[in-house]
Amino acid sequence: MSHKKFSRFVVTCLLVTGTISFSSLVSAQNAEQVSIPKVGDTAPNFSLQDFEENEFELSEATQKRTVLLWFTNLCEGCQSKISDVEKLKSMYENKGVSVVAISVLGEDRETVETLIKKYNTTFQFLYDPHGSTTEIYSGKYIPGTCPMKNIFIISRSSKIAFASHLPGIEVNELIEQLNNVIKGEQQ
């Protein structure tokens, strides 16, 4: 076999091997993708502890509607909305609504504890140390990013009634959505 033919053979083998390897990689990544729940889906159950070691399980909160907020410690936008979330909790705590925040960056517990004290929050703040609950609702966490959907309203029937992005949504729109859920469940 001439040198030229041998070179073509080697290049062809490398291309075929590369194509097969790339296809296998894409297939493996697709198999690992999580199906992120959407409005109308049943909210996936989870159990986490808050910063005072109290256990929270979503399925046990079925007597109430629940507002879930995923919070990244490094997101200034999320931090700027803590007072709005506290306002929401105050407005609805006597109307069968619980407000729960979930810390995404489990390794940075101290930052969240500092923020809880700084903003004097009274809503429950959960700790997701391994990101497993975050992944169920928002997909695999990418450091330095904020989940595209990080605020959910869960109805009494455990359905996702609303999903959006905070700080992208204004508190008045969130109040309107929560009122719609309450009104819809009273009919």
Domain residue limits, the chain: 1-33, 47-186
Q: Which CATH number fits domain 47-186: 3.40.640.10, 3.40.50.1970, 3.40.30.10, 3.30.479.20?
A: 3.40.30.10
**Measured between alpha carbons, how far is 54 from 48 in angstroms, rounded to an integer?**
8
pLDDT in the model for residue 118 = 87
Average pLDDT over residues 120-133: 87
Q: Which two tokens stand for residue 104?
A: 């995404």
E-only strand ranges, the chain:
47-50, 55-57, 65-71, 97-103, 124-127, 151-154, 160-164
C-alpha to C-alpha distance for 168 and 165, rounded to whole angstroms = 5
Q: What is the pTM of this model?
A: 0.76
Give the Cα-Cα-Cα angle 35, 41, 43 (nearest 5 degrees). Answer: 85
Mean pLDDT, residues 47-52: 90
C-alpha span between 125 and 105 (Å, rounded): 13
Mean per-residue pLDDT of the chain = 77
Q: Does the pLDDT value for residue 15 go beyond 50? A: no
Alpha helices in 39-166 (DSSP H): 76-80, 82-92, 109-119, 132-138
Give CA–CA dist 107/120, Å, rounded. Answer: 22
Taking phi first (over 0 means left), then psi (-120 to 50 degrees means alpha), and beta for anything else, what does residue 20 get? alpha
Share of the chain above pLDDT 70, in %: 73
